[in-house]
Chain A
Amino acid sequence: MHTPIFWQFPFFSSTLFVIGALLCTGTFTATAAFAHSPICNCYNDDENGDKVICEGGFSDGGSAKGVGVKVLNDRDRVLIKGAMNADSTFTFTKPDDDFHILYDAGPSHQVIIYMDDIE
């Protein structure tokens, strides 16, 4: 079972979490370009129970338009692939399989949201 992590800080994958966290720590303090952090939140669509809505953004208010989103199963197989739209949202139909969502804003700018944390 993965440790639930929400829209906190970027990292590469669950297996590289520690390395990612260390890289982020150094980057935040050293590089102005990385002064923002990616943020993502996913919730069930109130109007359609089969759908999940993900909202993306950055801590500096920047748009998430075009940021890649993947829905993967527990074996990291990509089930759905897409990108945030102009409204910085991405909507998908829930897969039958267990899944997690990768919000991928580039190296050190990734957020994973697990299925159990979708409200």
Chain B
Amino acid sequence: MIRNLHRLLVRSSAIALSLAGFSTTALAHFQVLYTPEMAPSRANTTRFTMVFTHPVHGGPHMSMEQPEQFYVVSQRGSDSEPKRTDLMKHVKPIDWLSNTKANADETQTPIKAFHASLPRAVTRSLGDHIFVLHPAPYYESSEDKYIQQFTRTMVNVGGVPGNWAEPMNLPAEIQPLNKPYANWTGGVFRGRVLADGKPVPNAEMEIEFINHALDQEGRRFAAKGEVELPQDAYGTQTIYADAQGEFTIGLPRAGWWGICALAIGANTEHEGKALSQDAVLWVQVKDMK
């Protein structure tokens, strides 16, 4: 009896230790809306990957439902009219693989993610192309609540700016005060947290780096992270916006940085459960070479 109890305790401790790196309290959910280049010199086909994950750890991933909306709002020059184009017809489900397996023989159960391969015509025009994803609410059982992250990734073609700084009056949104597609390593990024176009004072925010390179062809993140975290608090940087909803973050490394403002949307309930409507904005950073 005592021996069995001891075995149970040892086993439980082992499981707890193995999960320590993925404790639910320390991990930030991020809706990824990834394309390799946010600032191409000229128009090309654009491939987006949509995966709901914990980017600094390269997982675990959460299965997505069919997104509610995916569209782009394009504008060339600051005084032209923005043009909205629906892109849902390009959104296709894909299997997304884990970047780690307990052993080589393990059979994976991939999670559901999405991709969109967009023809060159979508970004043919010079200027800003703001891609917006409204994912379906995701039920997070460990927190007994739904999460819906309104996510934006901005692509600029050719260097002519457009509407990158303009609020879009989304339920949850991060308004950039720097161009998200043109940032040097070591610079700062500024923004303002908005809900329905209005600033959200003192919003709680999380910042994560895509630490495991995203492989669009292989449909997985790299097994090895680029940066070794000295402690789990370094993985998700937590900050608060100020009384005007504004924030500033540093950009210490080249790559993709995700900025998330938590639970700022007006809708707080979905199918009888709590709903967190978050805003995510992606920023690409490059080294000065």
Interface residues of A (CB under 8 A from B): 6-7, 37, 39, 41, 43, 46, 55, 57-64, 87-88, 119
Give a binary string over B213-252; 1 marks a CB under 8 Å from any A CB, 0 the rest: 0000000000000000000000000000000000000000
Q: Are A57 and B41 in contact (CB under 8 A)?
A: no
Query: Are A64 and B77 touching (Cβ within 8 A)?
Result: yes
Let me know if B158 is at the binding interface, CB within 8 A.
yes
- Find chain B residues with CB under 8 A from A39 CB: 126, 158-160
Assuming the contacts A39-B159, A41-B158, A61-B161, asked whether A119 and B42 have C-beta atoms less than 8 A apart, the reply is yes
Supply 18 A–B pairs (Cβ within 8 Å), ascending by A.
A6-B42, A7-B41, A39-B126, A39-B158, A39-B159, A41-B157, A43-B124, A46-B121, A57-B127, A58-B160, A59-B159, A61-B77, A61-B78, A61-B160, A61-B162, A62-B77, A62-B79, A88-B80
| Closest-CB distance, A14 to chain B (whole angstroms) | 20
Contact A57 B43 (CB under 8 A): no
Q: In whole angstroms, what is the CA distance A64 to B125 when docked? A: 14
Q: Residue B76 at the A interface, CB < 8 A? A: yes
Q: How far is the CA of A60 from the CA of B77 in the complex (A)?
A: 8
Q: Is the beta-carbon distance between A55 and B126 smaller than 8 angstroms?
A: yes
- Total interface residues on B, CB under 8 Å, equals 19
Question: Please, which residue of chain A has its CB at the minimum distance from the CB of B160?
Answer: A57
Given A7-B158, A41-B158, A46-B121, are A57 and B77 neighbors across the interface (CB < 8 Å)? Answer: yes
- Beyond contacts A7-B41, A7-B126, A59-B160: 9 other A-B pairs, Cβ-Cβ < 8 A, are A37-B159, A41-B157, A46-B121, A57-B158, A59-B159, A59-B161, A63-B79, A88-B76, A88-B77
Describe A's contact surface by its main secondary structure. loop
Contacts of A62 in B (CB 8 A): 77-79
Instruction: Specify which of B42, B80, B126, B161 is in contact with A60 (CB 8 Å cutoff).
Output: B161
User: Are the CB atoms of B80 and A119 closer together than 8 Å?
Assistant: no
The CA-CA distance from A43 to B124 in the complex, in Å, is: 9
Per the bound structure, the CA–CA distance linking A63 and B78 in Å amounts to 7
Docked CA distance A64–B161 (Å): 13
Q: Which residue of B lies closest to A88 (CB)?
A: B77
- A41 contacts B126, CB within 8 Å? yes
How many angstroms between the C-alpha atoms of A61 and B162 in the bound complex? 6
Bound form: Cα–Cα A101–B161 in Å = 22
CA distance A62 to B126 in the complex (A): 13
A110 to B219, CA, bound (A): 44
B197 to chain A, nearest CB (A): 21
Q: When chains A and B are docked, how far (Å) is the Cα of A42 from the Cα of B127?
A: 14
Given the known interface contacts A7-B159, A39-B160, A43-B124, the answer about A55 and B76 at a Cβ–Cβ threshold of 8 Å is yes
* B104-129 interface (Cβ within 8 A of A): 121, 124-127
A119→B44 CA distance, assembly (Å):
10
Cβ of B162: which chain A residues have Cβ within 8 Å of it?
A: 61
Q: Closest CB-CB distance, A40 to chain B, in whole Å?
A: 8
A7 and B160 alpha carbons, distance in the complex (Å):
10
CA distance A7 to B158 in the complex (A): 7
Central interface residue in B43, B77, B159, by most chain A CB within 10 Å: B77
Q: Which residues of A contact B43 (CB under 8 A)?
A: 43, 119
Q: What is the distance, in angstroms, from B77's C-beta to the closest C-beta of chain A?
A: 5
A43–B161 CA distance with the chains assembled, in angstroms: 19
Considering only CB atoms, which chain B residue lies closest to A37 in the complex? B159
In the A-B complex, the 9 residue pairs with the closest CB atoms: A61-B78, A57-B160, A61-B161, A55-B126, A57-B77, A39-B160, A41-B126, A61-B77, A59-B159
Which residues of B from 25 to 72 have beta carbons under 8 Å from A?
41-43
- Chain B residues near A64 (CB-CB < 8 A): 77
Q: Whole-angstrom distance from the CB of B289 to the nearest CB of chain A?
A: 17
Q: For B124, list chain A residues within 8 Å (CB).
A: 43
Give A118 to B124 CA distance when docked, in angstroms: 12
